[in-house]
Amino acid sequence: MQIDEEVAKLLQLKAQLGGDDGKHQFVLKTAKGTRDYNPKQMAIREKVFNTIIGCFKRHGAETIDTPVFELKETLTGKYGEDSKLIYDLKDQGGELLSLRYDLTVPFARYLAMNKITNIKRYHIAKVYRRDNPAMTRGRYREFYQCDFDIAGQYDAMIPDAECLKIVHEILSELDLGDFRIKVNDRRILDGMFAVCGVPDDKFRTICSTVDKLDKLPWEEVKKEMVNEKGLSEEAADQIGEYVSMQGGMDLAERLLQDQKMSQSKQACAGLSDIKLLFSYLQLFQVTDKASAEKVRTTEVQVMVASAQKNLLEEKLKLITELWNAGIKAEVMYKKNPKLLSQLQHCEESGIPLVAILGEQELKDGVVKLRVVATREEVQLIHNTHTVSLLAHGRMT
């Protein structure tokens, strides 16, 4: 009894602490799957956002923002199997709410709510998914999404091509190293499934399986198709032949001629659009990554160069004339540079023209003007008229 009495007192004292000291508890954790960004990370983040937003703005996009939570009903039925990953808010007597799972459903709600039919918008914001960390290691539950979308009825494939141009620009500017952009079309996939003998009602589920090819080898993907999804082995093999194909506009052309594929109207429509897409991508200069146009960091129009030694004085006289005429010109800070180095500098900096001085040319009172891109050369009389023509860009 004595013990009980004293224990009771102890518990009472502790209870006082527990109730009063609720505020003195030391919780030094962020919620599971979330993290703080320290100042270094914020500085990097700011640079990345500036690059990306700069690109979006260059393409004429505007931006919107939406609330972090939506009415639960808004998100219901939009995410299929992933719905179980949605964070719900507690029912505190008001509307039922959930944290947004992506930026696309809020976008669709925004368009419908405001009766908008045409918009080119970007939206950078955090989204929330109750991923199970054991299964998807390293994935955060709170993470940024950065979306760019073009909504509206337009002529085929032009906005689609611009989206790819934007991805290309962003990945190039971020300097992450080499990259590839894979392109396909739902209609081609569906058409392919149809001509390979996949039953209509299995299209979506077979599609999910094909999607795993970026992580699993073909044998495993085929196994899932046949064993789990009930596809015939013959159909799976036929799919196997197609999904190993990669190429450019040429592949689209070949498939349009393919005996089996051409039977599907759907696939043909998709393939024609892929051809159209690639024609626009060519104009946007993004079909061959290696030949992507370099972004110039200087605006020099003319390199003043020399073909022999001891011509620095003459070059400086000429460049002064050019500068006085408002022409952006450069000369190498070397008394006797090799012509090759001067030409290489032009290629690297993207300088379009070279004015080459040589001893004979000086005697004749002419200047050799070379177009860097084509290597064409013309001889021009060195006088004020020529300089003024050069200033007004009539030389190309």
Distance CA 248, CA 139 (A): 34
Q: Is 139 annotated as a binding residue?
A: no
* In the complex, least distance from residue 270 CB atom to another protein, rounded to whole angstroms: 19
Burial classification of residue 26, based on how many CB atoms lie within 10 Å of its CB (0-12 exposed, 13-18 middle, 19 or more buried): exposed
Looking at the Cβ atoms of 76 and 208, the one nearer to another protein is 76
The residue among 3 and 113 lying less far from another protein, judged by its C-beta, is: 113
Is 98 in a helix, a strand, or coil?
A: strand
Q: Which is nearer to another protein, 231 or 304 (CB)?
A: 304
What is the SS3 assignment for 93?
coil
Whether residue 209 is annotated as binding a ligand: the answer is: no
Query: How far is 193 from 235, CA to CA, in rounded Å?
Result: 8
- Work out how close the CB of 142 gets to another protein at its nearest, in angstroms, rounded to a whole number: 5
Distances (CA, A) of 294 to 57, 173, 329, 351, 372: 19, 10, 19, 12, 15
Cβ of residue 66: shortest distance to another protein, in angstroms?
5
Measured from the CB atom, the residue of 139 and 254 that comes closer to another protein is 139
Q: Is 375 left (phi over 0), alpha (psi -120 to 50) or beta?
A: left
The residue among 74 and 232 lying less far from another protein, judged by its C-beta, is 74
- The residue type at 57: K
Question: Whole-number minimum distance, CB 42 to another protein, in Å?
Answer: 5
State yes or no: 129 annotated in a binding site: yes
Which H or E run includes 312?
A: helix 312-324
CB of 155 to another protein, least distance (A): 5
Least separation in angstroms between residue 164's CB and another protein is: 12
Q: Quick one: 136 or 360, whose CB is closer to another protein?
A: 136
To the question of whether residue 297 is assigned a binding role by annotation, the answer is no
- CA dist 208 to 129, 213, 221, Å? 20, 10, 10
Phi and psi torsions of 21, nearest 5°: -90, 10
Which secondary structure element, helix H or strand E, spans residue 143, and what is its range? strand 142-151
Whose CA is closest to 207, among 196, 268, 160?
Answer: 196
Least CB distance to another protein at residue 72 (A):
9
Query: 207: Cβ–Cβ under 8 A, 6 or more apart, which residues?
Result: 189, 193
Q: Is 103 annotated as a binding residue?
A: yes
Helix (H, G, I), strand (E, B) or coil at 62: strand
CA distance 230 to 155: 40
Tokens linked to 107: 């976008």
Q: How far is the CB of 327 from another protein (least distance, A)?
A: 10
| Between 344 and 396, CB nearer to another protein | 396
**Cβ-based nearer residue to another protein, 114 or 310:** 114
| Distance set, CA 215 to CA 110, 133, 202 (Å) | 35, 19, 21
Is 320 assigned to a binding site? no
For 251, the 3-state DSSP assignment is helix
Write out the binding residues for L-histidine: 102-104, 129, 145, 149
